[in-house]
Amino acid sequence: MQDKIDYYTHQVYNPSYYYRQYENDLPENPESHSYVETGKRVVHLALPFLSLHQPFGRAISLTMGSVRMLTESVSILTADTMGTRTFQVMQLGLASLALAGTLYHFTLGLFLTSLADLTTNLIHLLKDLTRGQYKEAFDELLQGLTSTLYLAIMVTGSLEIVLASILVQALVSFYQARDEWAKGRMPEAIAKSLMGMIRLHQAHAQFETIQRRNELMKHYQEIVDRIRNGRKIDHLWDHPLIKQAELDQGILTDADGNEYDFGAHFYGYGKGQVKGMNITLRKDGDQTTLDFKINHVFRKRLQELLNNLENTSQEDFKDLFKIFGSHIEDISIQKKKFSSEYHGSAYNIHLKGLGTITVGASKSVVTLYDKISVKMDSGKNLYDFHEALSFFNLDDALRQSASEDIERMKIGHLLHMFCKATAFERSDPFFDLPLDAFKQKVTERFPEMHAILDKWLPQMELRETLPGRMRWAVNGLSDDLTANGARGLTAALTGAWTEKEWHERIASMLKMGMISSEMRHDAQMGKKGLSSGLDYFTGGADSVFTQMVTETNATYGEFIYQAPIRFLISPKILENGSYQYHTDSFGIRFGWSYFNRSNIFDFLSDEKHYEHWWFNDNEVMIKDRIPPEFFTGIVVGNAQTKQNLVDYLRQKQIIKGDTIFSKPIDEFIWVGNTIKDEHFANTSK
């Protein structure tokens, strides 16, 4: 129910002035001259003028809404017929609904109050017509027209309807002033005449606003379109992420029972805009943050948009937001440095009324340049996320990807795995061409993709890297790699210098897997790798560093990275996709090295035949995380190291009985540097 209310309140426009029919709150008795009736006259005189000061609107709504409920309750008790009592019960229901709406959302309260007023006007109009009281019927018609126009303002946000509404209210004020004059009620006649003149003044100001709008549209049509797009939320009606408070966070627990929040991950969003089609929601108290990365083409477009915004004055921004009904009140864009020197700078974009968007600003910090983080103010919902994203043409981040979008990504994934990178992957046609034209373009530029698509595209399947975070894997690829001489991957345990640290890290990895530097940082794990700072500049911070072991490698001592303990990893993880170098290149993702890197099969062939050329310092980068089920074993230097490790893992209940990961201890924890085929056998994957 809450999400439906949020949907309607987001769509309602906030009127530029306050209005309600006070006579329905506190009806007067013209036959009485008591002090109570005099008090009512004073209230009716004062309230229209008090409401001109907009901050009083909510207080007036709550006060008069409560008064209306009391009035209707008394009317029910004093009703002399069943028909009258039924009518008053309905009025009480409408008054209660309007007051409840005001308590929840001010504009929703205005809408429900005006709807209740209009309902009352229509009922009275019909009664007056049936009784032949045409003067009274005309009065109700005018009041009903006023409420109708006020409702239309909240539904459409049209400036022209605002102007018409104000003019009608001016007409009604002068018309009522004449009646009050005829009745000898001079204070009311003067007050209504004065209010009519105020409405005419407001109408003149509204006319100038319309002219200002027309002027802004000449210069800022693109910004106007983005603001209007932020108000279009029909596609979010049944969105899976609508109930943010109920989202399950991705919690991983280490061997000591410490929980780390990796956020709630969701796959299948962003169409071509979001990398990997993965988005992440993180809860921090009553605030929610949305994180995702965008592909290069869209990051370039975003930069052009940010540059253009610098040419817009602050005054124009405020007028654009106000005139076109945005929930954004103002905007400020500042370029600030991250807290860590390794993270470079970011655009800190404050959207007053909604929240803050952070965009990587340092091209040299490859890992973060394409990262978008949207943090909403307290109490905001998915519709507010959409509005904030729409202003920067990033609203596709919340759109569910179509089958064509997914097919394009899968082809791009295969292209990245099996062909050398080209500028085509970072060009507009890569994302904008229709799917059939895209396939044709790919196979024209890379003829080898004909066979690759025929063989591997049907074999692709989704696999989790974190709970909810998915990646397309090429099922069966590891069989071909093994047949061509791959044994598996290995990773020396670096960054730990004491046995206690080794044990803690091993236990943590066996529980949570190997996690990239960036993911560890986002989860506030406080664990750093060997080059976690530099990795942000090279682009390797979002990957796990491993090394390839081939059939020509005899000992682990051949590898440049050495440690008393190393992990052994199934070649099955390579099906998730990788990029690799023959030399230690810090996971670089730019420049000549990246664009001329070998595909996995060429890399494997060269490693087998020429590994001594590169001193066995190859690196194979695995995206995001290597889950524990891909570990096939651990190699230690001597028996004592093994025994100490086994004792620690028993203490942490990772080893139960004589098995670990459903394997005998001696078939998982190995002693010595000699490489054996069984080190990479019997995996659960």
Question: Residue 664: beta bridge partners?
Answer: 659
At residue 529, the pLDDT reads 55
373, 291 contact by CB (below 8 A)? yes
Reading the block at residue 478, the tokens are 């590891």
Residue 624 predicted with pLDDT over 90? yes
**pLDDT band of 341, cuts 50, 70, 90:** low
At residue 448, the pLDDT reads 93
> Which parts of 457-496 fold into alpha helices (H)?
477-483
At residue 9, the pLDDT reads 83
Q: Which residues contact 360 (CB under 8 A, 6 or more apart)?
A: 344, 346, 347, 368, 369, 370, 371
The winner for highest mean pLDDT among 25-34, 304-313, 349-358 is 349-358
The type of residue at 339 is S
The winner for highest mean pLDDT among 242-251, 348-357, 485-494, 606-615 is 348-357
At residue 85, the pLDDT reads 81
Reading the block at residue 198, the tokens are 């105020």
Residue 536 predicted with pLDDT over 80? yes
Residue 685 predicted with pLDDT over 50? no
**pLDDT band of 528, cuts 50, 70, 90:** low
At residue 103, the pLDDT reads 82
Sketch the domain layout of the chain as residue ranges: 1-157, 240-398, 406-465, 476-679
**pLDDT band of 532, cuts 50, 70, 90:** low
Reading the block at residue 382, the tokens are 């998915």
Residue 347 predicted with pLDDT over 80? yes
210, 159 contact by CB (below 8 A)? yes
**pLDDT band of 33, cuts 50, 70, 90:** confident
104, 10 contact by CB (below 8 A)? no
Question: Residue 626: beta bridge partners?
Answer: 514
The type of residue at 247 is L
Reading the block at residue 597, the tokens are 């890197």
Residue 359 predicted with pLDDT over 50? yes
Is 378 in a helix, a strand, or coil?
Answer: coil
**Average pLDDT score over the chain:** 89
What are φ and ψ of residue 279, in 5° steps? -125, 155
> Hey, which bits of 326-474 come out as E strands?
330-337, 345-352, 355-360, 371-376, 460-466, 469-474
Quick: pLDDT tens for 122-143.
Answer: 999 999 999 999 999 999 999 9
Q: Which residues contact 451 (CB under 8 A, 6 or more apart)?
A: none
At residue 684, the pLDDT reads 47
**pLDDT band of 559, cuts 50, 70, 90:** confident
Percent of residues in the chain assigned helix, strand, coil, to nearest 5: 55, 15, 25
Tokens 């991705």 correspond to 250
The helix (H) or strand (E) run that includes residue 632 is strand 631-636
- Whole-angstrom Cα distance, residue 281 to residue 260? 14
DSSP 638: S
In this prediction, residues 650-678 reach a mean pLDDT of 91
- Whole-angstrom Cα distance, residue 658 to residue 666? 9
DSSP 343: G
In this prediction, residues 597-622 reach a mean pLDDT of 82
Tokens 């598996």 correspond to 488
The winner for highest mean pLDDT among 30-39, 139-148, 521-530 is 139-148
**pLDDT band of 655, cuts 50, 70, 90:** very high
The type of residue at 219 is H
Reading the block at residue 494, the tokens are 């670096």
**Cα-to-chain-centroid distance, residue 151:** 31
Q: Which residues contact 649 (CB under 8 A, 6 or more apart)?
A: 503, 506, 507, 510, 655, 660
Residue 527 predicted with pLDDT over 70? no
For 21-52, b where at least 16 C-beta lie within 10 A, e where not — what string?
bbebbbeeeeeeeeeeeeebbebbbebbeebe
Quick: pLDDT tens for 80-115.
Answer: 788 778 878 888 888 888 888 888 788 888 898 999
How many Cβ atoms sit within 10 Å of the Cβ of residue 556? 24
Quick: pLDDT tens for 173-218.
Answer: 999 999 999 988 899 999 999 999 999 999 999 999 999 999 999 9
Reading the block at residue 507, the tokens are 């236990």
First to last CA, the chain: 43
**pLDDT band of 245, cuts 50, 70, 90:** low
DSSP code string of 573-584? GGGG-EEEESS-
DSSP 459: G
Quick: pLDDT tens for 57-76.
Answer: 888 888 988 988 888 888 88
In this prediction, residues 277-305 reach a mean pLDDT of 93
- Point out the least confidently predicted range of 30-44, 411-425, 608-622: 608-622
In this prediction, residues 554-571 reach a mean pLDDT of 85
Residue 442 predicted with pLDDT over 90? yes
